Amino acid sequence: MAVYIDPWVAVTPATKNNTWQDVDVSSFVPEGATGVLVWLYVNHASTSYTAGVRKKGSTDDIKDLLGAATSITVAIGLDENRVFQVYSANATNVLVYVLAYFTSDAVFFTNAVAVPVSAAWTARDLSGSIPEGAVWAFFIMKVPAAFRLGVRPTGSTDLDYPSYTFINGRMSGVNAARSVDTYGSSAGSTYLYLVGYSTGGSFKTTAPNVAMSVPLTWETKDRSADAFAHVGGLVVLLIWSDYGRYGSARKQSGGTGPLCYQRGGEHRVVGLTDLKTFDAYISHTTEGKVRLLGYFDAVEEQPSVFPERGLTGVGDSLNLGRVPIIG
């Protein structure tokens, strides 16, 4: 199971001394949660800052610059006390939010596993790290300026995944052989780390484009034709643009979804309404795009886990039960 939280919860650490800081989410994430979806955003128009996230107890030091006016979404593990860690060079301009949490269908490693990359799309076997039945793999990227790095389901023909946002998060579907394709324009300068996996949800092997017709306008997108997109589920998107363009997505009709520049692509995970809709926004319809990577599916109906936050239960609590992989 997983739960989407709308509005997102601000958890920016007050300390900005370039050290790893604890973030305790036990006040709004229940016992049994294994990980969270974290959104980091630099709200300065011209300055980049070093940032990173890791599971509490990890010895990883995976951090890098996060570009000016740029955001990333990263899935990361929690310890038994529901704590993860953030590295931030600036608590005023690097904002941190939690937008969802995972339970038993998602497993996160204490220390990340390095995944090889090369300057061609190449299948990488993850079976030594993830079990049979895995559907999604969660990654952190380090991509210096002028380099590109991508990960996609094995068999995909997508070519617009490479990213050049320094530090970034990624999700990729995993085939039955537990394989993904990776690309890195420089094996000695681009780094890909596997931080966990989920046995629930479904993904598109080749991500379809979500048609955007009007720039600078929130457009409601209907996914009811996808039979596996259950009422109230989560949709996983890649919002990609050329430098200087921007885009966003949100749960329909005013859900959380701040606008920010996308330098090479950000995964945005948002809630679907009861009508299987969400909102998307793009500043330029030819130099930016929204692609649909897959879904995490909803349970039928159950009481809200956060009645004090005004959540109704339907569409807020999500079941990541395994469904057939969709190509």
Integer angstrom CA distances of residue 217 from 247, 293, 308? 10, 22, 32
pLDDT of residue 327: 29
Please report the pLDDT score of residue 144 as a whole number.
76
CATH class of 1-104: mainly beta
Using 50, 70 and 90 to split pLDDT, how confident is the model at 139?
Answer: very high
pTM value is: 0.87
| pLDDT per position as a tens digit, 273-319 | 777 888 888 888 777 788 899 987 654 444 344 434 333 332 333 33
Farthest-apart Cα atoms in the chain, separation: 50
Per-residue pLDDT tens for 219-269? 999 888 875 555 556 788 887 765 556 778 877 666 666 665 555 567 778
Indicate the burial class of 91 (C-beta count within 10 angstroms; 0-12, 13-18, 19 or more): middle
- Assess whether the region 1-104 and the region 214-297 belong to the same CATH fold: yes
One-letter amino acid for residue 145 of the chain? A
pLDDT in tens, 180-190: 999 988 777 88
Whole-number Cα distances in Å, 150 to 129, 194, 256 = 19, 13, 27
Residue spans per domain, the chain: 1-104, 110-206, 214-297
59-114 confidence digits (pLDDT tens) = 999 999 988 888 889 999 999 999 999 999 888 899 999 998 998 899 999 999 99
Q: What's residue 45's pLDDT?
A: 84
Indicate the CATH number for domain 214-297: 2.60.120
Q: CA 313, CA 307: separation in Å to the nearest integer?
A: 9
Question: 3-class DSSP state for residue 317?
Answer: strand
Q: Which two structure tokens, joined as six digits, stand for 291?
A: 């692609």
pLDDT bucket at 201, cuts 50 / 70 / 90? confident
- Measured in degrees and rounded to the nearest 5, phi and psi for residue 309 equal -95, 0
Residues paired with residue 106 on neighbouring β-strands, in sequence order: 198
CA quadruple 16, 18, 22, 24: dihedral, nearest 10:
40
Answer whether 152's CB lies under 8 Å from 171's CB: no
Torsion angle in degrees (nearest 10) through CA of 118, 122, 127, 132: 140
